[in-house]
């Protein structure tokens, strides 16, 4: 199982520590390929695409509109 | 932290200035590099114009009222196109100029530094008119955010940003909409029309919106400004 992690160092956490999961592009339980854009996070007016780190079954750890920080695990991919 | 450093430093920007038939076409160029002469791997500045439109953010597109608001706005001359960058609705018109700096993401590129590159570019433009903008939230203006640029308390530019992979390259696109010569009341009315059925939407006030031409004493056209921006970027490419 591989975690889907919000990357560190993208934004200045001292200015704005939190963002949200703006969208999931695949349903919980969907089959995804490595590199598929599975989610989008938003920090203020910046959006970031989040890619699947591996192929397998996607699981949402955090629901849409859930709060994220750098390093937050928002989901997993179970390669079986 | 890197985010506290200055603007992005890197190769000089290529420049394309283009007038599009509609905002949706412009956004396909800006966000997806459709028809781009450069491709996502080359740092570039796109300067664009389109007929009147409202650029909706992804969050706007998820509003329950989105479809009906889009229809009503289009019937009133403000078709809605959805952009990749965040925030709220941003009005564009032949009197505004949209700028988009795209850079492939490499070490040291952060949200803040990419925003500062755009803020610095617009600051250099304003210098030519003897104007200085404050950077910070401008309450009551369209699409309020921490990187609003305002002169005398009136917003003349707003910024948003999107990070995405294009043709295998992770790219950050920092967009700005600059009000050059447009009626503040028309812009505010269009934004308020879009949000009229959204209970908690912040109202947009004409008095919170400015225009470069008015602030500079009049007679400034988007075409003039596009040429100035091109000259500023060109100067960066020439050896000192």
| pLDDT tens per residue, range B62-100 | 899 999 999 999 999 999 999 988 899 999 999 999 999
What is the total count of domains within chain B?
1
Q: Residue B38 has what DSSP assignment?
A: S
The DSSP result for A12-37, as a single string, is -TTT---EEEEEESS-TT-EE-TT-E
A-chain CB neighbours of B4 within 8 Å are 12, 14
Q: What's the pLDDT at B1?
A: 32
Residue B77 lies in a domain: no
Is B58 in contact with A23 (CB distance < 8 Å)? yes
How many residue pairs bridge chain A and chain B with CB atoms within 8 Å of each other?
Answer: 75
Query: For domain A2-78, which CATH number applies: 3.10.129.10, 1.10.3720.10, 2.40.50.100, 3.90.79.10?
Result: 2.40.50.100
Q: What is the SS3 assignment for B42?
A: coil
Residue B71 lies in a domain: no
Assembly ipTM: 0.86
Residue B113 lies in a domain: yes
Q: What is the CATH number of the domain that holds B24?
A: 3.30.930.10
Please tell me which of the candidates B62, B143, B161 has its beta carbon nearest to residue A46.
B161
The strand pairing partners of A60, in sequence order, are: A75
Instruction: Tell which residue, B102, B88, B98, has the closest CA to residue B51.
Output: B98
Residue B43 to residues A10, B40, B114, Cα–Cα distance (Å): 19, 7, 12
pTM of the model: 0.91
Residue B191 lies in a domain: no
CB contact under 8 A, B3 and A11: yes
Owning domain of residue B147: 2-53+94-184+210-237
Residue B75 lies in a domain: no
Report strand pairing: B80-82 vs B149-151.
unpaired
Distance between A51 CA and the closest CA of chain B, angstroms: 9
Segment 18-47 of chain A within 8 Å of chain B by CB: 22-23, 35, 37, 40, 42-47
Count CB atoms within 10 A of the CB of residue B223. Answer: 13
| pLDDT tens per residue, range B183-228 | 999 999 999 999 999 988 889 999 999 999 999 999 999 999 999 9
């Amino acid at each position: 199982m591989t975690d889907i992690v919000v990357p560190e160092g993208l934004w200045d956490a001292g200015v704005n520590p939190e963002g949200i999961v703006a969208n999931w592009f695949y349903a919980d339980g969907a089959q995804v390929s490595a590199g598929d854009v599975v989610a989008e996070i938003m920090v203020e007016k910046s959006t970031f695409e989040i890619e699947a780190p591996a192929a397998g079954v996607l699981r949402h750890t955090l629901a849409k509109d859930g709060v994220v920080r750098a390093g937050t695990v928002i989901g997993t991919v179970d390669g079986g | 932290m890197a985010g506290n450093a200055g603007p992005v430093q890197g190769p000089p920007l290529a420049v394309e200035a283009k007038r599009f038939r509609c905002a949706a076409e412009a956004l396909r160029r800006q966000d997806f590099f459709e028809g781009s002469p450069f491709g996502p791997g080359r740092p570039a500045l796109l300067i664009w114009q389109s007929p009147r439109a409202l650029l909706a953010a992804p969050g706007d597109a998820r509003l329950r009222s989105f479809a009906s608001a889009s229809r009503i706005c289009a019937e009133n001359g403000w078709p809605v196109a959805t952009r990749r960058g965040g925030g709220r609705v941003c009005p564009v018109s032949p009197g505004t100029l949209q700028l988009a700096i795209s850079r492939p993401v490499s070490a040291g590129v952060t949200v803040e530094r990419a925003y500062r590159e755009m803020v610095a570019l617009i600051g250099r433009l304003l210098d030519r008119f003897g104007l200085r903008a404050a950077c910070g939230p401008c309450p009551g203006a369209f699409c309020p955010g921490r990187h609003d640029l305002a002169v005398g308390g009136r917003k003349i530019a707003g910024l948003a940003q999107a990070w995405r992979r294009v043709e295998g390259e992770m790219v950050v696109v920092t967009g700005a909409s600059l009000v050059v010569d447009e009626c503040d009341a028309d812009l505010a009315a269009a934004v308020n029309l879009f949000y009229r059925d959204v209970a908690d939407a912040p109202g947009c006030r004409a008095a919170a919106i400015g225009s470069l031409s008015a602030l500079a004493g009049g007679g400034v056209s988007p075409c003039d400004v596009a040429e100035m921006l091109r000259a500023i970027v060109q100067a960066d490419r020439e050896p000192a």
